[in-house]
């Protein structure tokens, strides 16, 4: 159930942000009523309507406050010495028996009065939208596509045209209600079958979730999907807005910092012919216009209040119509001029690039390098990795299995010069200075970031499962061992877990640093000779068992982080003074996530990555594959990412040695 999500700052509460989506509820009706659409416009035509399960999804539970405090203290134990823990325990118990109890009761009442959503949804949107730091490095993650298996289809123009076509087909399939619902199948032999689908389609939406549950299938929340398209984060002083306008039929394309738009959907709601899309993209790639002297995209990398002021100035100087076209575009396609040298270059380019050929505020951007290497960079306020990963998987499958543009395809003989519009912006001296300053700030921030990668080839998921160990638990244990070996400490660690099994669920935190991983790491790193193979193996089993329990609890909405966050948010919204639980240095420390981790494996995805969430942290993207384990890790100057990965590799070698009965070196 764990889903890719860049780790967030634990506390970021300011003026509430606003969410503006214009009549998204009518999109599906408008698109599905268009009889002109041909089957070629759709990825597939699901027997079960896309949103069939949405109405009956279970609600995200609010944990019992006693359970939250117990879990909080269990997570604090490996991070504190005896005296510190005693102080934190006393504070937590006081919170449980006083203001915490009152806040919890109020949160429960508030939740009962808002059954259409989850208790975390509003505060979580607000956390993102009220953050004033740049979205670059602090929020937006990336996920890179694997290359097309057919080498000739990786040519930049061909791959761009196919990805645009597949993205439009995904959008149309979703809005027509024909996209297969997102379901987590525990027994696919029973639930992922034509017979079950033909049965469940007739079960009323108010009951459909229960029908799926009976065959061990868990439908996931899809409320975020409609925010994939035609949407943008708009900077506002104090708190941003999410903007959406389903009337937009055009694509935003960026090249050399210049911005272009052309329609990819016609007036009847049909996809523009692939040969025409091919022609328009060829026109843009052939355009001899020089790189933009003042590339506006760099402004989206600025501090949000600074960008809000500059945007107001842009509107005042006559750029409202052009900005509206940027905001309402289906999505952004970034055509880069550079070829990628290696995985590290890909990570840097797709996570941040040079800032000039991006519009970081779009819900997502597909970035395609000169050599056809491709990735998605997405803005995080509107949603989590679940919707983006589904989109990426479908686009990769469609472009590789059913491409609509081929290496030998001739672009349509159409007047692309008329169909494609290069956006012009009027900038005064203040705006030009703003662009230059933004570029300076951007260059300074990314100059501090280092990324490195590691592949452990001596084992993976298959061997770990045979050993009855959780693959994710072993990966997380290797990070704990590595940090202890490198820095001699156990530190606050964050692993994201999706709660999409619930209506309007977002994420919960798994806390992988436990008393079990601390004990095991100490044994492996500092005193391997003092323990027998059986003892070391028993410690691995204990770590795996406890981590699996934490993962299950988080996926079921039974972590402690979101609950404490919501209670703090409620207290602040009422203007109450915060209880000492929230001012305790231990609370600040556990939310200073030195190890911020997130995992995903997918046939479509080559790499995923994000920056550290604290200056002295690591941003750890990882995947446990059948026979190998990969890590893509970022850091700032306070940490040595190269040495950390050497320590991770050593930790995995030691763990697999024990599993094979070999003595530790």
Q: Which residues are catalytic?
A: 380
Contacts for 551 with CB less than 8 Å, ≥ 6 apart: 1, 2, 470, 472, 497, 510
Kind plus residue range of the DSSP H or E element containing 143? strand 142-145
> Can you tell me whether residue 584 is helix, strand or coil?
coil
Is there a contact between 180 and 44 (Cβ–Cβ < 8 Å)? yes
Strands 332-335 and 250-255: parallel
Contacts for 131 with CB less than 8 Å, ≥ 6 apart: 9, 12, 14, 138, 139, 304
> Can you tell me whether residue 444 is helix, strand or coil?
helix
> What b-and-e string marks burial along 31-61, b requiring 16 or more CB atoms within 10 Å of the CB?
bbeeeebeeebbbeebebbbbbbbebbbbbe
CA distances from 402 to 148, 165, 222, 251, 395 (A): 12, 11, 25, 21, 10
The DSSP annotation for 304-315 comes to HHHHHHHHHHHI
- Cα separation, 646 vs 651, in Å, equals 9
- Cα separation, 329 vs 250, in Å, equals 5
- Number of residues that this document lists for the chain: 665
In this structure, the number of other CB atoms found within 10 A of the CB of residue 665 comes to 8
- Cα separation, 60 vs 43, in Å, equals 31
Contacts for 1 with CB less than 8 Å, ≥ 6 apart: 184, 497, 498, 500, 501, 551, 554, 555
- Cα separation, 644 vs 650, in Å, equals 10
Is there a contact between 185 and 191 (Cβ–Cβ < 8 Å)? yes
Q: Which of 420, 191, 166 is nearest to 286 (CA)?
A: 420
Sheet of 374-378: strand order equals 421-422, 258-263, 250-255, 332-335, 364-368, 374-378, 142-145, 605-609
Is there a contact between 139 and 130 (Cβ–Cβ < 8 Å)? no
What phi and psi, each to the nearest 5 degrees, are found at residue 271? -70, 135
CA distances from 617 to 265, 449, 494, 611, 642 (A): 44, 11, 11, 9, 13
3-state helix, strand, coil in the chain (%, to 5): 45, 15, 40
Query: From start to end of 310-401, where are the E strands?
Result: 332-335, 364-368, 374-378
Contacts for 129 with CB less than 8 Å, ≥ 6 apart: 16, 17, 18, 19, 233, 239, 240, 241, 242, 381
Contacts for 505 with CB less than 8 Å, ≥ 6 apart: 60, 118, 120, 221, 498, 499, 557
């Amino acid at each position: 159930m764990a889903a890719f999500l860049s780790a967030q700052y634990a506390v970021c509460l300011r003026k509430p942000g606003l969410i503006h989506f214009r009549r998204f509820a009518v999109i599906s009706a408008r698109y599905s009523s268009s009889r002109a659409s041909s089957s070629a416009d759709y990825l597939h035509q699901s027997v079960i309507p896309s949103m069939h399960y949405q109405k009956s999804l279970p609600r995200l539970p609010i944990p019992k406050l006693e359970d939250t405090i117990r879990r909080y203290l269990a997570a604090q134990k490996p991070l504190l010495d005896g005296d510190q823990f005693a102080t934190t325990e006393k504070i937590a118990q006081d919170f449980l028996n006083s203001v915490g109890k009152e806040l919890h009761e109020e949160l429960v009442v508030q939740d009962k009065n808002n059954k259409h959503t989850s208790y975390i949804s509003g505060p979580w949107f607000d956390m993102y939208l009220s953050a004033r730091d740049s979205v670059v490095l602090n929020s937006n993650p990336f996920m890179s596509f694997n290359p097309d298996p057919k080498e000739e289809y990786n040519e930049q123009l061909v791959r761009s045209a196919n990805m645009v076509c597949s993205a439009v087909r995904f959008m149309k399939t979703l809005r027509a209600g024909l996209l297969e619902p997102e379901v987590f199948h525990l027994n696919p032999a029973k639930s992922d079958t034509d017979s079950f689908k033909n049965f469940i389609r007739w079960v009323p939406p108010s009951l459909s979730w229960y029908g799926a549950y009976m065959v061990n299938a868990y439908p996931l929340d899809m409320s975020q999907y409609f925010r994939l398209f035609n949407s943008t984060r708009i900077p506002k002083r104090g708190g941003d807005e999410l903007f959406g306008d389903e009337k937009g039929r055009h694509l935003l394309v960026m090249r050399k910092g210049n911005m272009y738009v052309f329609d990819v959907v016609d007036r009847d709601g049909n996809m523009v012919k692939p040969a025409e899309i091919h022609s328009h993209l060829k026109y843009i790639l052939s355009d001899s216009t020089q790189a933009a002297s003042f590339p506006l995209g760099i402004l989206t990398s600025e501090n949000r209040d600074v960008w809000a002021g500059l945007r107001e100035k842009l509107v005042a100087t006559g750029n409202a119509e052009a900005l509206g076209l940027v905001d309402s575009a289906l999505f952004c396609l970034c055509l880069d001029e550079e070829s990628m040298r290696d995985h590290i270059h890909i990570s840097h380019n797709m996570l941040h690039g040079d800032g000039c050929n991006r519009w970081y505020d779009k819900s997502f951007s597909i970035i395609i390098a000169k050599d056809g290497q491709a990735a998605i960079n997405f803005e995080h306020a509107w949603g989590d990795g679940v919707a983006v990963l589904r989109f990426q998987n479908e686009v990769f499958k469609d472009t590789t299995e059913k491409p609509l543009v081929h290496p030998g395809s001739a672009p349509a003989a159409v007047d692309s010069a008329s169909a494609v519009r290069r956006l012009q912006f009027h900038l005064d001296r203040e705006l030009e200075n703003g662009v230059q300053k933004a570029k300076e700030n951007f260059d300074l921030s990314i100059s501090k970031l280092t990324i490195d990668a590691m592949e452990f080839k001596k084992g993976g998921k298959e061997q770990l499962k045979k050993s009855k160990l959780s693959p994710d638990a072993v990966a997380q244990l290797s990070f704990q061992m590595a940090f202890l070996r490198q820095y001699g400490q156990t530190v606050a660690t964050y692993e994201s877990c999706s709660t999409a099994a619930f209506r309007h669920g977002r994420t919960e935190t798994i806390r992988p640093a436990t008393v079990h991983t601390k004990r095991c790491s100490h044994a492996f790193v500092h005193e391997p000779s003092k323990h027998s193979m059986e003892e070391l193996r028993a410690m691995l089993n204990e770590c795996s068992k406890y981590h699996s329990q934490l993962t299950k609890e988080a996926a079921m909405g039974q972590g402690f982080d979101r609950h404490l966050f919501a209670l703090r948010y409620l207290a602040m919204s009422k203007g109450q003074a915060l209880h000492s639980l929230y001012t305790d240095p231990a609370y600040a420390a556990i939310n200073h996530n030195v190890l911020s981790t997130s995992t995903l494996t997918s046939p479509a995805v080559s790499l995923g990555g994000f920056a550290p969430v604290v200056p002295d942290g690591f941003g750890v993207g990882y995947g446990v594959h059948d026979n190998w384990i990969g890590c893509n890790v970022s850091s700032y100057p306070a940490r040595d990412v190269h040495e950390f990965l050497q320590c991770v590799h050593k930790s995995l070698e030691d763990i697999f040695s024990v599993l094979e009965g070999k003595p530790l070196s």
